Amino acid sequence: MSSKLLAVAALAVISAPCVAAAVGPWGQCGGNGYNGDTTCVSGYSCSKLNDWYSQCQPGTVPPVTTTAAPVSSTFIPPVSVTVLPPVSSAAPPSAPSPSASPNSLQKRFAAKGKQYFGTCADPNTLNIAANVAVIQREFGQVTPENSMKWESLAPSRGSFNWGNSDRLVDWAVQNGKLIRGHTLVSDVMPVWHSQLPGWVNSIGDRAGLTSVIEAHIAAVAGRYAGKLLAWDVVNEMFNEDGSIRGSVFSRVLGESFVPLAFQAARRADPKAVYATPGTIDGMGTQGHLSGGQAGNVQAALNALARAVGIKEVAITELDIQGASASEYTTVVRACLNTPLCVGITVWGVSDANSWRASGNPLLFDRSYQPKAAYTSIIGIL
């Protein structure tokens, strides 16, 4: 199993048409290239998060006035790297205790000193009552499975589709769940190229790609600023042998796209992402495992935890073909045995909705009943 840096890429902010009504809570109210209304509803004020994005936030901060500056005409796609935590010279701030039932995976894991036991979700699974019930009961954190990826948010240049990601974030906030944003610089694995829009892949100049990455991150991270625990800033950036995976980002910008993305994320959402030049605060390892691979997780976490400057590590996308109880408990013990490991995210709730459904890799069966792997995890917690 390979470990990968977490990163997220954001698309350039596009100008929105002027509307007469005041902007609602957490809506955009300013930024370079923005032509919409700058007045927030009662109880909210327009707060400048960065040059590209101002947002209606609770409070009485004086409204921000912005001048409409044209967005670079050359838009370039962001890079995708494996999920890693943000960087900071200080320890990350403590997050509020997420909601879950008393004897749940979340509560038992937290009692062992960990921050979250989470899962992925999106509106397609939030429409399933049985799925929602399990998330509410068992998990303390949610990660958007696909709705925040570049292809989902901005399949064509100059427009955003916020509906699905907004719904995921709103649901999580209303239900007391922590959120990991996934991802700002989208996946670059060849098999996932469909999740990076063609218009991004076609960018070939350094200045243009830099501008697009910074603008995308400002728009996406800025939209959800203050609501997320952390961002997967760069996702799936490494090959299995540790070399940097070929992508439009590495091809045009070399390794410099990594600090570029983290610095842009910190500017856009300083409460969730911590980045300073040359450093990354945390790293994650994915866990899309086949049978017999769980024993490799401890070594992967150890390697990540030894990296200079790293303050936390996490298991970010866990599913195991066949859902062996012993293999799942081996992975959970690996996190428990690693002081810097803050949490585990299983990649789905029920086998019915898994991206690897034929392998029945999750903790709940197709009827949303707990499997032996779930019971075994509860047993060691």
Active site residues: 236, 317
Report yes or no: 75 and 12 within 8 Å, Cβ to Cβ.
Answer: yes
CA-wise closest residue to 231 among 122, 26, 85, 55: 85
User: From CA 22, how far away is CA 29, in angstroms rounded?
Assistant: 9
3-state secondary structure of 241: coil
User: From CA 65, how far away is CA 56, in angstroms rounded?
Assistant: 13
Residue 163 C-beta-side C-alpha neighbours within 13 Å:
4
3-state secondary structure of 320: strand
The DSSP string of 47-69 is EEEETTEEEEEES-PPPPP----
How far out from the chain centre does Cα 160 lie?
Answer: 17
Angle at 160 between CA 159 and CA 161, to 5 degrees: 130
The conformation of residue 23, written as its DSSP 8-state character, comes to B
Instruction: 21-25: list long-range contacts, CB under 8 Å, 24+ apart.
Output: 23/56, 24/56, 25/56, 25/57, 25/58
- Residue 86 vs residues 8, 197, 249, 269: alpha-carbon distances, Å: 11, 25, 19, 11
List helix spans (H) across the chain.
105-111, 123-126, 129-138, 150-153, 163-174, 198-201, 206-223, 248-253, 257-268, 297-305, 325-336, 372-380
Report yes or no: 59 and 40 within 8 Å, Cβ to Cβ.
Answer: no
The residues with which 279 forms a beta bridge, in sequence order, are 276
